[in-house]
Structure 1
Amino acid sequence: MTEDQPLSSLSDGSLVERSADGDTAAFGVLIRRYGPLMRAYAARILGYGDGEADDAVQEASLQAWQRIDRVEDPDRVRSWLFRIAANKALDRLRRRHPHLDLEAVPEVGDERPVDEVVITRMQVDELARIAQNLPDAQRAVWVMREVGGASYAEIAEETGMSTTAVRGALARARRTVLEQMEGWR
């Protein structure tokens, strides 16, 4: 890194290596880079509105800092951070145990005709309602796979379920979502 090259321009792998050496500024760049996504991911698992997602991300960030030297593949730190955030969110979900409240994704400078935007928003609202009504285990597995892109093995590790149980819960969740979204095709 040259003097005029900011930390924010470094790759994830370089930031992880520097963080593992105790560079708090490099770790701060990682958290600024992925913190908002971690929060959105945790919020999808926990539901919005009460700050629990922020708390889960804060706990995840602290745990990540304590374990940054254990990252096996520094270039895949994003997945590693998401797993920690998911674990913290799932811990909170287990303690709380009500249904999640998934809300629509906010609009971002959409240039589509208004009717398309309204229809899409209604579809997202319906999907959120359906996901909210899934049993907790199915909802967590579905969100981790469909929203977070986690593998079956990662989901099994994070939820404490077997890979077979994850596949079954995901299949049931997908079937429910497909059946209930049928009218939107």
Structure 2
Amino acid sequence: MDKMVNRIIQQVKKGDQQAFEGIVELYGGRVYQLTYRMLGNTHEAEDIAQEAFLRAYMNIDRFDTTKKFSTWLYRIATNLAIDRMRKKKPDYYLDAEIRGTEGLTLYSQTAADEKGPDETVAASELKEELQQEIDNLPAKYRSAIILKYIQELSLKEISEILDLPVATVKTRIHRGREALRKRLRNG
């Protein structure tokens, strides 16, 4: 996929504006999902995703083709989402009490392949509650948690996206997990 993306990028650099549509088709859903998970609002996520693609297009000459395009694009989207979060609301404190359920983990899964209606509703409620708790994390922890557990990126990729050392990324993921665990236990 990287070779195909690099070919598209070369076309865009040569002035083929239509070629960039291929980039949007390839990454549109993932960039929107990332921004939605960070912002928790459909309209804001759409705006930020669109802005991320616009900035990528405007700055395509700055992209280093020896690196992964997706990492560069996710970095743009993540930074825009973090900026929007900072403008939107103040940071929350890690020791703030928020209701939760005991023993919930980030990715608790049920053993059965098929869920009954009650299990589906309960899982949906837990997922929604977990998303609310993630939304309440400070931006620096929220972005690390989303990139790691929802986007399933490697520590190295997260490090590049957030422009932080891997050790700092590990610390933020750990502290974000601990904050979530603490909030979900304090009901």
Q: TM above 0.5, one fold?
A: yes
Q: What percentage of aligned pairs have identical amino acids?
A: 30
**Structure 1 residues 80 and 162: alpha-carbon distance in aligned structure 2, compared to 1, 3 A threshold:** closer
* Highest RCO, 1 vs 2 (Cα 8 Å, sep ≥ 6): 2
Which shows bigger deviation, 84-93 or 71-80? 71-80
Q: Are the equivalent residues in 2 in contact too, given 1:64–1:84 (CA < 8 A)?
A: yes
- In the alignment, what sits opposite 1:72? 64
- In the alignment, what sits opposite 2:176? 173
Deviation at 1:63, TM superposition (A): 1.3
Deviation at 1:99, TM superposition (A): 6.6
**Structure 1 residues 160 and 17: alpha-carbon distance in aligned structure 2, compared to 1, 3 A threshold:** closer
- In the alignment, what sits opposite 2:105? none
Q: Does 1:132 align with 2:125?
A: no
d(CA) in 1 for partners of 2:145, 2:59: 27
d(CA) in 2 for partners of 1:63, 1:133: 27
Structure 1 counterpart of 2:19, from 17, 26, 33: 26
- After TM superposition, the score normalised by the length of structure 2 is 0.70
- After TM superposition, the score normalised by the length of structure 1 is 0.70
Q: Are the equivalent residues in 2 in contact too, given 1:60–1:84 (CA < 8 A)?
A: yes
Deviation at 1:171, TM superposition (A): 0.3
Aligned residue pairs, count: 164
Unaligned runs of 5+ in 1: 1-9, 101-110
Deviation at 1:162, TM superposition (A): 5.1
d(CA) in 2 for partners of 1:152, 1:97: 27
Deviation at 1:41, TM superposition (A): 0.7
**Structure 1 residues 115 and 99: alpha-carbon distance in aligned structure 2, compared to 1, 3 A threshold:** farther
- In the alignment, what sits opposite 1:45? 38
Which residue identity is paired with 2:79? N
- Could you report, residue by residue, the CA deviation over 1:48-89 in whole angstroms, capped at 9, with x for unpaired residues? 14x222221222112111222333347832232222111111
Q: Are the equivalent residues in 2 in contact too, given 1:16–1:74 (CA < 8 A)?
A: no
RMSD: 3.2
Deviation at 1:154, TM superposition (A): 5.0
Which residue identity is paired with 1:45? M
- In the alignment, what sits opposite 1:7? none
